[in-house]
Structure 1
């Protein structure tokens, strides 16, 4: 049985096949970089949200909670950041003598929604690129395979008797491009689907939190009046 040396096959492949393989390897590296980074980001956001929401629902003194958040304003993420900007707007509108409770709640609700959308947008960065890698990598690999097979048959086109031993290395070189394409695509697609589920879950969590937050603020409007 002949051992297949992938590096040797890569070095002997035609320029087009080598270029295709290189592009796919770069895609795979980028894909895994995004996967590792986003996995850490999601874990951090879910952990921080859980920690803050426990404090939020166990302590209805929103002013003290706001002051604590204000101390580390530059490090706020997720629910705590939404709370901070929402309560900041609440204080601003109240101090501006906006005595209409509807006006206060509309202003606060708008700021909360904007903050929530910004949080979702920031965490979605680079995730669509995973979908792109997952969808195009197999086709790029297939393109490399087709080019490799074409070059192999063209090279042996003038020979009358062609044996399998003669064309096998060329076909193997070509098929490696498809294999690398799948290697780049499969993790990217799996991560893309997983991260989209995480975003949907995060959006639901934010929606539930903001609804509870607005209810509490609405009560405080009447209490303060």
Structure 2
């Protein structure tokens, strides 16, 4: 039997093809790519779990507040219960509108023009509050989008670099046996696999959370419009 075949076969057997072995045997640049993708994947999952918990909490708090709001009780009493700095975005929207209403309603009673201005100010304050609260709720969404769009290409870069290094080593050793080529290519392809592992959950989560946050924003806008209509009817009654 050809001694070179025996040698190459022994090298293939002794080569560690486990995940850790592929990482340790990879080129420095490929290792850096793998570490980057691994950290990005861990961070993505942290963001995903945070968003799941946050959206559940926001929807539960919104349901509780809507129940209190439509219970028929006094809006002034509800405002006092909510407090000046509520943590719930819907309650914060209500508090911002009520705060503007209480500050300007007394001066608005004597003039129709002032009343119209009051209505616009209340709506504008609530719109600003909704925008600020949604910006907080959407935190790290851009990170998910970035990882989802760039991770496959970063992994592909690691793969291309690893294959180039493997071919360079093959040319230097003058041995084109599959047993010699396969480990280096496996190390390189592992970078692409990590890129997909990071990107796929990020893309799925981004699409899911974008839809859920859009629905929540519509819920806040609907509440703002309903509350504005209530204040408008109250102004007309006091005209």
Q: Which residue of 2 aligns with 1:27?
A: 40
Number of residue equivalences: 223
Runs (5+) with no aligned partner, structure 1: none
Give the structure-1-normalised TM-score.
Answer: 0.93
Q: Distance in 2 between matches of 1:161 and 1:116?
A: 66
Q: Which residue of 2 aligns with 1:77?
A: 88
Q: Distance in 2 between matches of 1:161 and 1:8?
A: 22
Partner residue of 1:42 out of 49, 55, 62: 55
1:146-165 alignment, distance < 5 Å:
146-165=160-179
Q: Distance in 1 between matches of 2:159 and 2:69?
A: 57
| Aligned partners of 1:14 and 1:148 also within 8 Å | yes
Q: Distance in 2 between matches of 1:18 and 1:37?
A: 29
Q: Which residue of 2 aligns with 1:175?
A: 189
Change (3 A) 1:97 1:161: closer
Q: Which residue of 2 aligns with 1:61?
A: 74
| Aligned partners of 2:47 and 2:140 also within 8 Å | yes
Q: Which residue of 2 aligns with 1:187?
A: 201
Runs (5+) with no aligned partner, structure 2: 1-12
Does residue 14 (structure 1) correspond to residue 5 (structure 2)? The answer is no
Q: Distance in 2 between matches of 1:158 and 1:103?
A: 80
Residue 98 of structure 1 deviates from its aligned partner by 5.4
Q: Distance in 1 between matches of 2:189 and 2:201?
A: 19
C-alpha root-mean-square deviation of aligned residues, in Å? 1.7
Q: Distance in 2 between matches of 1:131 and 1:28?
A: 12
Q: Which residue of 2 aligns with 1:95?
A: 106
- Tell me the SS of whatever aligns to 1:106: helix
Give the structure-2-normalised TM-score.
Answer: 0.88
| Aligned partners of 2:85 and 2:92 also within 8 Å | no
Runs of 4+ in 1 over 4 A off after TM superposition: none
Residue 151 of structure 1 deviates from its aligned partner by 0.3
